[in-house]
Homo-oligomer: A and B are copies of this chain.
Amino acid sequence: MTLGFTVWLTGLSGSGKSTIAGHLAMSIRAAGLPVVILDGDEIRSGLSSDLGFSRPDRDTQVRRVGWICDLLTRNGVVAIAALVSPYEASRAEVRAAIGRCLMVFVEAPIATLKARDTKGLYREADAGRLTDLTGLGDPYEPPAEPDVHCVSDGRETAESCADRILERLRAVGYLADTSVDDERPSSGAGYSPDEEGEVRARLTELGYIE
Contacts and interface: CB of A to CB of B under 8 A. Distances in A.
B36 A77 contact: yes
Interface stretch (A12-20, A68-76, A121-129, A138-146): A68-76
Number of copies: 2
B37 A64 contact: no
A29 to B, nearest CB: 6
A165 B60 CA distance: 36
Contact of A1 (B29, B50, B71, B76): B29
A46 B75 contact: no
A32 to B, nearest CB: 10
Interface residues of A, number: 19
Given A1-B29, A29-B1, A34 B68 contact: no
A67 interface: yes
A46 B67 CA distance: 7
A172 interface: no
A72 B29 contact: no
Given A1-B29, A36-B71, A46-B67, 8 more contacts: A34-B34, A34-B75, A34-B76, A35-B75, A36-B77, A47-B64, A72-B77, A77-B77
20 contacts: A1-B29, A34-B34, A34-B75, A34-B76, A34-B77, A35-B75, A36-B71, A36-B72, A36-B75, A36-B77, A37-B75, A38-B71, A46-B67, A47-B64, A47-B67, A47-B68, A50-B60, A68-B68, A72-B77, A77-B77
